[in-house]
Amino acid sequence: MSYKVLYRKYRPANFNDVVDQQAIVKILQNSIINNKISHAYLFAGPRGTGKTSMARIFAKAINCENPQDGNACGKCRSCLNFAESPDIIEIDAASNNGVNEIRELINNVKIMPAVSKYKVYIIDEVHMLSVSAFNALLLTLEEPPSHVIFILATTNIESVPITIISRCQKYEFYRISDELITQHLQKICDSEKIAYDYDGLKEITELSDGGLRDALSMLDQLSKENEKLTLDLVVRELGSISLVKIKEIIKALENKDYQKIDAIINEFKKSNLNYKIVVKKLVELLSKEAIQSLENNNLNQLDYKIIKNIILELNDCLNRININVNPYIIIEMILLNYCGENKNDNVKNDTKIEEKHDKTIKIIDENENINEDVSNKNNFIKKNIQNNNLQEIKEIRINNCFVAPDKEILNSTKEKWSKFLLKINSQLRGLISDTYPVAASKEYVIICSEIDHLVDEINENNKKIEKEYLDYLKDEIKIVALSLEEWQKEKKKYIQNKQEGKKYIYKEEDIKKEEQKDLEEFAKDIFTSDKLEIK
């Protein structure tokens, strides 16, 4: 018998086997129990979270001749023949995304099921369909024959037209919790007689980023080593990094142990680990350390402000690193710079605004003496006015993009943006490498950043990015960056406005004329000094 990979062997066969996503499971089971089956469903969420598996389980259950509490019985003719059923049609939209394929689907929809109650179309990665294919699917999706059910699955719901979404019952799949993934891996290891250490499974879980399929694929790969699945094995074979080592770095910072930091960094260099993974894990652990520092006020811990500055410098390192320099040299210099600092040191000016953080954060102490140098007051006021202006421009650009959003322009922009990211200078590339367009009009593009704290910095540098885009692609655009959370809110607001018939009116972007007036008014509210001068 041929070998079956673990993620296929342990694919859930019914609702009871599904890991996490219990809210969705309950709703779908109830719809079967109460015989309230919709004609179209949309499953959206990250890869490896169970969308396609859930679609198959649901398709099997609704065609079952004797369902048990919303689950397929597994014994009737429909259940036994499900794998070979001609009435369950799975389509990969990534490779069948043209209008001709969809037209063929529409013609076949009219044909009655061969053996089952329902003919079920499962369209995976539906966001990959072309604009014309989506348009062809619209009418059929809205009013399909009573014997047809559509289940659409996507990892990128932002690229699915609103007209499609509004015709489906939408279910959001979330990343599976680390605890549940680890427990599932333990069960499979016990079943497959794979020797393991708990720390090894925990590391696989962390690398999977909430995707159970990814976790099972890594487990499958490592099990072929015929070794006990330990943390060291995972680190060695998957290019990961042990959290133990990260904790040792933080401990060395607390103890001012320069040699220990040097030894660990040298170990990373020799292992040829991806420095981005090292920085990511270091930042994650430092952020937890920062919270503990504030809560416990432990004298042996790093001070919150020191942790904050380390995180900012490491982020700065990722954004501006020169590919001709070994990144670990820079990381080590950053850590060693803070190795001698702790909360008992006499820091003369905690509110000092360091130049290297200008584009990331301004640290202003609440107890700063308001009567110190007048020029510092001016800079403080101007910075606040600039922030207000940036926010206003951000809102204007979102509004203007929604005046006439265009799906074809968005698809074209996505292709251009991918090429642009490869050509943009290294400094800006680090800033926008994790961004992607989510909405576009003739003049404006909304990009989404998966790294929330970079959004403001991207918007501050939008003119530089736009100039590079124009130089490379000969295409003039205006961009505005949003976090994923911000984009979800704006998208919901847009859908609501459309449903209520509210229109977006174009707004002028130039707000410089009001800046001097705003600056003076702001100064009057903040400062009482008669000597304050606005330049």
User: 182-201: per-residue pLDDT in tens?
Assistant: 999 999 999 999 999 998 89
Question: How many domains does the chain fold into?
Answer: 4
Amino acid 89: pLDDT: 93
Q: What is the mean pLDDT of residues 42-60?
A: 94
- Nearest CA to 437 out of 390, 392, 479 is that of 479
User: 337 and 306 in one domain?
Assistant: yes
Which residue reads 């670990």 in tokens? 328
Q: Is the pLDDT of residue 478 over 60?
A: yes
**Domain of residue 295, residue span:** 243-357
Which 8-state DSSP code applies to residue 224? T
Q: 396 and 508: one domain? A: yes
Instruction: Give the residue carrying structure tokens 């794998």.
Output: 83
With a pLDDT cut of 90, the percent of the chain lying above it is: 29
In a domain, residue 528? The reply is no
Query: What average pLDDT score do residues 227-249 get?
Result: 81
* Same domain for 288 and 221: no
Domain containing 510 — which CATH number? 3.30.300.180
Banded pLDDT at 529 (limits 50, 70, 90): very low
Greatest pairwise CA separation for the chain in angstroms: 89
pLDDT value for 299: 54
Domain boundary among 172, 194, 224: 172
Query: Residue 44 — very low, low, confident or very high, per pLDDT cuts 50/70/90?
Result: very high
pLDDT of residue 344: 46
3-class DSSP assignment, residue 508? coil
**Residue 358: predicted pLDDT:** 45
Which three-class secondary structure state does DSSP give residue 208?
Answer: helix
Looking at the structure, do residues 213 and 75 belong to the same domain, yes or no?
no
Percentage with pLDDT > 70 across the chain: 81
Whichever domain contains 168, its CATH number is: 3.40.50.300
CATH of the domain at 197: 1.10.8.60
- The pLDDT of residue 387 is 52
* pLDDT confidence band for 272 (50 / 70 / 90): low
Q: Judge if 57 and 145 occupy the same domain.
A: yes
Kindly report which listed range (30-39, 67-76, 195-204, 323-332) carries the lowest average pLDDT score: 323-332
Average pLDDT, the chain: 80
Assess whether 34 and 129 both reside in one domain: yes
Q: Write down the pLDDT at residue 336.
A: 79
Whether residue 224 is found in the same domain as residue 250: no
Q: What is the pLDDT of residues 479-517, one digit of tens each?
A: 999 988 889 889 888 888 888 888 889 888 765 544 444
Overall pTM surpassing 0.85 (yes/no)? no
Task: Please classify residue 357 by burial: count the beta carbons closer than 10 Å to its beta carbon, then call 0-12 exposed, 13-18 middle and 19+ buried.
Answer: middle
Q: Quick check: is 527 in a domain?
A: no
125 and 45 assigned to the same domain: yes
**pLDDT tops 80 at residue 33:** yes
pLDDT for the residue numbered 367: 41
Give the contacts of 224 (CB within 8 A, at least 6 positions apart). Answer: none
One domain, residues 440 and 330: no
**Does any domain span residue 126?**
yes
Q: How confident is the model at residue 2 (pLDDT cuts 50, 70, 90)?
A: low
Judgement on whether residues 222 and 247 belong to the same structural domain of the protein:
no
In the predicted model, is pLDDT for residue 99 greater than 60? yes
Residue 9 has pLDDT above 80, yes or no: yes
Domain presence at residue 370? no
- Is residue 439 located within the same domain as residue 302? no
Q: Does the residue 77 lie in any domain? A: yes
Q: Is residue 150 part of a domain?
A: yes
The answer as to whether 379 is a domain residue is no
- 499 lies in the same domain as 392: yes
Write down the pLDDT at residue 184.
94
d(CA 465, CA 226): 50
